[in-house]
Amino acid sequence: MSYGPPLLLASLNPIAVAAGDDIPDALTIDGTTLSRSDLLGAATSVAERISRADRVAVLAEPTVRTVLAVVGCLIAGVTVVPVPPDAGVAEREHILRDSGAQAWLGTAPEGTELPVVPVRLHARSWHTYPEPHPASVAFILYTSGTTGAPKGVMLSRGAIAAGLDALVQAWAWTWKDTLVHGLPLFHVHGLILGLLGPLRVGSPVIHTGKPTPEAYAAAGGSLYFGVPTVWSRIVEKPELARELGKARLLVSGSAPLPTPVFDKLAELTGQAPIERYGMSETMITLSTRADGERRPGWVGTPVRGVETRLRDETGEPVPHDGVSIGGLQVRGPMLFDGYLNRPDATAEDWTEDGWFRTGDVAVIDADGFHRIVGRESIDLIKSGGYRIGAGEIETALLGHPAVAEVAVVGLPDDDLGQRIVAFVVPRDDSSEDLAVELTTHVGEQLSAHKRPREVRFVDTLPRNAMGKVQKKQLS
C-alpha cells in the first residue's frame, strides 16, 4: 500500500504508522529492538529538540542513541556530522571546527566545549515534518585524512536516495530481507548502506555491535555486509561460516577481498560473495549483481545511472582490454556536492567535462567488468619502466599457504625508480628461505618484473577502522 509522497527514509512513513502498519523488528542494536512506530516516535522527539539547528555532531557509537540522533536529524532536515568514537583530540577538534557543528546530539566526549543535546530513549512525538528538499545536505562525512587533514564530504539527500535505489536494483534488495552487519556508523558502508538502506527499503536491520563470526552466524539474516577482515575471520571458523549459507547475499566492501577468502567463503556457504566499489565522495558506483557473474578480484559493472572511464597520465583514454591500467573516473546521480570549505580540493578532483577523479587505478574488460588496482598514489608502482598494480602481486602472495596477510608497496630506488617490497604477515615462522620461496612463487604466477625485490616479515599490518591497510605507514 502506498502512503503518500516518497521519503528518504521511505519505510518510516508516519501515515503508515498511523494506519497501524508496523514493522515489529525494524531495528536491533546494542541489545535493543525497536519497532517502526517506536523508531519513528523516538526519532521525531529528537527532531523536535534540534529542528532549529543547521548542523550537529553525533558521536557515532553503535547504539540506539546514535540511530535516533541520525534519524531525528534526517526527519528535521538538520545536517549530521558523524564523528568516529576513536578519533583523537586533534582530529575531533578539526571536524568540529571545520564543520561548524553547533552542538553534540546524544553522547559527547569528555571535556567538550560544545553544548550537548540529550537523546531520550523513551520520549515519543508524532509531530510531522515536511520532507526536506533533495538538494539539502544530509551528511558531512570526513575522509580518513591520509593525504592531509580530513576533508568534509557533503552528501545530499537526493544523492543518497539515488545511490541506495541503485543498490536495491543491483542486489534485488526488498522489505523481505533482514540485513545483518557490525560495521562502524560513521562511514558510507555502515551508516548509509547499513542503516539508511534498510530504513529506505523497509527491511529489518540487525547491528551486531562487533562483527564477530559468532554474532553473524547467530543473527539469521538474509543479507550480510562485511569488510575483508570480517570475512577472513569467518572462513577461519567453518562451522559458523556454513550458517551463513542460509543467507541470500553476502556483500564485501571497503577494501579488496583476497581471492583465497573469496574462494573459501564460496566453498563454505555455497555462494560467491558480492563485491562492490565506492568511496565517501561517490557512494557505491560499481557492483556485481544478485543475478550476475561474480569473479574474485573484480567489482562488477556500473550500477544504475553511473558511467565510468579510464584515463592515463596525459588524459588519454585507456583501452578496456582487462589488462591496461588507468585512472578511474566516474559520474552519476549519487556523487557528492563537494568538500566543505575546500573549493580548491573540489575543483582539483573534477575534470573540466564533469567527471570525478577517484584517485584509484583500475582495469576494465570488454564486458565492462572492473578490477580496482588500488590508489594511484600508493598502489600503482612504476618500476624499471613498467606500470605494475600492487593488488595483483598481493593476490598472488595470498595464494601461498604460508601467507596470512600481505601489503605490497613501491619504495624509492635509485636504479628502478621504485622497487617492489612485500610486507608479509606469515602464518608460522618466517625465514630467509620463505622470502626466497615467496619471490619465486610470484615469478611463477606473474611476469618476472612483478616479483618483489624485497620481502619483509611483520606481525601485523596497520589498518584503519574499516579494515583498510594504511600503506603510507609502511616503509
- DSSP code for 188: I
Rounded to the nearest 10 degrees, what angle do helices 432-445 and 390-398 cross at?
120
If you average pLDDT over residues 245-262, what whole number do you get? Answer: 91
Q: What is the pLDDT of residue 465?
A: 62
Q: What is the pLDDT of residue 145?
A: 56
Cell of 30: 546494542
Residue 368 half-sphere exposure toward CB, CA atoms < 13 A: 11
Which among 32, 30, 37, 33 has a CA at the least distance from the CA of 15?
37
Domain ranges of the chain: 380-473
* pLDDT at 65 > cutoff 70: yes
DSSP states of 359-394: EEEEEE-TT--EEEEEETTTTEEEETTEEEEHHHHH
* pLDDT at 146 > cutoff 70: no
User: Minimum mean pLDDT among 2-11, 25-34, 82-91, 371-380: which range?
Assistant: 2-11
Helical segments of 84-144, H only: 89-99
Q: What is the pLDDT of residue 4?
A: 47
Residue 333 pLDDT class (50, 70, 90 cuts): very high
Among all chains, which residue has been given the C-alpha cell 591497510? 469
Q: What percent of the chain has pLDDT over 90?
A: 75
**CATH (residue range 380-473):** 3.30.300.30
Cell of 418: 621504485
User: Minimum mean pLDDT among 23-27, 175-179, 390-394, 455-459: which range?
Assistant: 390-394
Residue 6 pLDDT class (50, 70, 90 cuts): low
Mean pLDDT, the chain, as a whole number?
92
Residue 28 pLDDT class (50, 70, 90 cuts): very high
Q: What is the pLDDT of residue 194?
A: 98
Pairing verdict, β 152-156 and 137-142: antiparallel
Q: What is the pTM (predicted TM-score) of this model? A: 0.87
- The winner for highest mean pLDDT among 86-95, 161-170, 434-443 is 161-170
DSSP helix/strand/coil, 131:
coil
* pLDDT at 47 > cutoff 60: yes
- Of residues 428 and 301, more confidence is placed in 301
Q: What percent of the chain has pLDDT over 70?
A: 97
Residue 442 contacts by C-beta under 8 Å, 6 or more apart in sequence? 393, 396, 397, 450, 451, 452
Residue 8 pLDDT class (50, 70, 90 cuts): very high
pLDDT digits (tens, 9 = 90+) for 236-245: 999 999 999 9
User: Minimum mean pLDDT among 58-62, 141-145, 163-167, 350-354: which range?
Assistant: 141-145
If you average pLDDT over residues 381-403, what whole number do you get? Answer: 84
* pLDDT at 166 > cutoff 60: yes
* pLDDT at 3 > cutoff 50: no
* pLDDT at 5 > cutoff 80: no
Q: What is the pLDDT of residue 1?
A: 41
* pLDDT at 284 > cutoff 70: yes
The β-bridge partners of 455 are 422
pLDDT digits (tens, 9 = 90+) for 394-441: 888 988 989 988 999 999 888 888 999 999 999 987 778 899 999 999
Q: What is the pLDDT of residue 95?
A: 95
* pLDDT at 105 > cutoff 80: yes
Q: What is the pLDDT of residue 443?
A: 87
